[in-house]
A and B are shown apart, each in its own frame.
Chain A
Amino acid sequence: MLKIEKEKLPELFAKIAAGQELYLPVNISGQVNFAAWDEEVQVDLTTLKSVKSPKDAFFPQSENLYTCKREGKKITIEPEELKNQSFVVFGMKACDVQGLKVLDQVFLSDPVDTFYAARREHGVIVALACHEPEETCFCKVFGIDCAEPAADVAAWMAGEELFFKPLTEKGEALTKSLEGLLTPAGEAGEQAVEEEKAAIRAIVEKLPYSNLSLEGWNGDALTEKFDSPLWEELYKPCLACGTCTFVCPTCQCYDIKDYNTGHGVQRYRCWDSCMYSDFTMMAHGNNRTSQMQRFRQRFMHKLVYFPANNDGMYSCVGCGRCVEKCPAALNIVKVIKSFQKQGGEK
């Protein structure tokens, strides 16, 4: 394990960014989101959750797929280049890293999404343990240990230092390139990290959602959950906006659109939300015509369909972003709890 003083972090970032792109949490007019580093930006590693999850470092909100160009009546197609240089995402949390695993299940299984795969191949993740978990967090429910993030590099902030522990080959390579800035953590460092982990885990135990039960939520629950009359009540406050999906680290739906630039047509994909009334709107109309159906879809997908198709893996990681951001104060926890309550009543 290595370490660096917090005040030297700008040097560390500069060094990383010298050889590749570096994405990390940045405060722009009061909100923290992952963005590319430069000397001007205001890096913020203390805010626990970025508004958007860092998934768009691998699966951008919109990305060009190819461009059609026209000369007279001839049309040529220029595919967009795949990511071919390494980049570093610094400061992802354990839940965000788990979010990527969910995306991997979708995008890396056959047929492979080449754009995503290229980014995964070239991305190096430095994950940061959650210094002070908050009441909206429930990663523990999904078996995630936010004190011990598993990525290319794991990092902890303790006292005035940041501790840095490469876990993979990519992580080793990155660490190597930072020689000189990082110094050995030593025994005291190891000790500090252990204390930090313990402190984190102690807080996690006290979090209100940490003992949320997922009992009954699995691939087998399909019909029972789908047909529940509870949905009809639960969805009512939903405004059909896309906030939950756009801040979510695991939502992976996208739409493909064309944009006429005047000198060509760009075919690009952009995040879509199953909450939107025009989600998967086709010529025949919509396959989910009411907001109740759309609402149900999102939660059934996260908690039932996805585990059914992915060996029991839930596509929720308990980051709690939707809990914080839903304009109508709806969220996945409320859904889970409602079913629990109903079960209890039975």
Chain B
Amino acid sequence: MITGKKQAELIKEISGVNPLKCMKCGKCSATCPSYNEMDIKPHQFVSYVLNEDIEALMQSESLWKCLSCFACVERCPRDVKPGKLIDAARQLLIRQRGQEYLSPDEVPELLDPEIPQQLLVSAFRRYRR
């Protein structure tokens, strides 16, 4: 069983983020388009990582609500990049689940013409190996 400490280290490693740099200004949350659908808000990602409460983060709705638009990453004045943290948490979860990757042949039939291009691109970015 991976401990919270170990997971927090992994998240920091994957994201390259130093959560200690956060000055808790909330600009990430202010800027987030999915804010209202999130149970854990972007500015809170940082404290979850700091508190090593990664399980909660991995179980949260936010994981799947984040659009990876990276507005928070762009605008964060302290270079903390909350979006990268949630991205990393997502990766941890996916790793736990195993190798459930789509093969490229499966993609075309799954495509829904209604899916915004941005989401597609973000999905590729997120799930690429």
In-complex A–B contact (CB below 8 Å): no
